[in-house]
């Protein structure tokens, strides 16, 4: 299917606030009013206590690198043009763990990536990514 993008999920009525915020350069998470825990990816209920008392909250954009893999080959567009890239899991300052991509790592060299390194949020074409914090 020509023109299909694999890097951006299709927004629905529930996720539209998340994607609209991302397009404006803001990362949103959800926080539970019952147990107080934050979570990401956005869900209509708390994955910890199952409460439906969850609200959108703006995240700080600060995170630490939990784990990563440097991808050297990917045949799905647009990833093929981005190789090599860093697929990563980060721990947001607010608590949730998030799958993402680390950008700007080539400026410091691949060997500079390390678990626990501080990252800051950035956005590429309305998608949240992270870069090493200077």
d(CA 115, CA 31): 26
Tell me: pLDDT of 74 over 90: no
Length of the chain: 134
Hey, which residues does 26 pair with through a beta bridge?
A: none
Chain segment 100-134, per-residue pLDDT in tens: 999 987 765 555 889 999 999 999 989 999 999 98
Residue 128 backbone dihedrals phi, psi, to 5 degrees: -70, 130
Chain segment 13-64, per-residue pLDDT in tens: 999 999 999 999 999 999 999 999 999 999 999 999 999 999 999 999 999 9
pLDDT at 134: 80
pLDDT at 87: 94
Strand arrangement of the beta sheet that strand 54-58 belongs to? 38-39, 28-32, 54-58
pLDDT at 56: 98
Chain segment 78-90, per-residue pLDDT in tens: 887 888 899 999 9
How many helices (H) and strands (E) are present in the chain, helices listed first? Answer: 1, 8
d(CA 85, CA 94): 25
Residue 29's CB: how many other CB atoms inside 10 A?
22
Chain segment 1-23, per-residue pLDDT in tens: 455 666 777 889 999 999 999 99
d(CA 133, CA 116): 12
């Amino acid at each position: 299917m020509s023109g299909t993008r694999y890097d951006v999920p299709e927004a629905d009525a529930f996720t539209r606030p998340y994607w609209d915020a991302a397009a404006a350069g803001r990362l949103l998470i959800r926080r539970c009013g019952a147990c107080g825990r934050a979570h990401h990816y956005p869900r209509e209920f708390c994955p910890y206590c199952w409460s439906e008392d969850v609200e959108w909250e703006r995240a700080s954009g600060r995170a630490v690198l939990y784990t990563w893999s440097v991808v050297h080959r990917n045949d799905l567009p647009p990833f093929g043009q981005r190789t090599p890239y860093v697929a990563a899991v980060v721990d947001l300052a607010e608590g949730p763990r998030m799958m993402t991509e680390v950008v700007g790592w080539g400026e410091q060299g691949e060997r500079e990536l390390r678990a626990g390194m501080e990252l800051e949020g950035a956005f590429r074409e309305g998608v949240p990514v992270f870069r090493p914090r200077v």
